[in-house]
Chains A and B, each alone.
Chain A
Amino acid sequence: EVQLVESGGGWLQPGGSLRVSCAASGFTFSNSAMSWVRQASGKGLEWVSIISGNGAATEYADSVKGRFTISRDNSRNTLYLQMNGLKAEDTAIYFCAKGVGADCSNGCSSRIMDVWGKGTTVTVSS
Chain B
Amino acid sequence: EIVLTQSPGTLSLSPGERATLSCRASRSLSSDNVAWYQQKRGQAPRLLIYGASSRATGIPDRFSGSGSGTDFVLTINRLESEDIAEYYCQQYAGLPLTFGGGTKVEIK
* A interface, CB within 8 angstroms of B: 35, 37, 44-47, 50, 59, 61-62, 95, 97, 100, 107-109, 111-119
Contacts and interface: CB of A to CB of B under 8 A. Distances in A.
A46 B99 CA distance: 7
Contacts of B31: 107
A117 B44 CA distance: 7
Nearest to A47: B97
Given A35-B97, A112-B35, A44 B46 contact: no
B44 A119 contact: yes
Given A107-B31, A112-B35, A114-B56, A44 B99 contact: yes
Contact of B88 (A44, A50, A115, A119): A44
B99 A116 contact: no
Contacts of A108: 33, 92-93
Given A112-B50, A113-B35, A114-B56, A59 B45 contact: no
A58 to B, nearest CB: 11
Interface in B55-108: 56-57, 88, 90, 92-93, 95-102
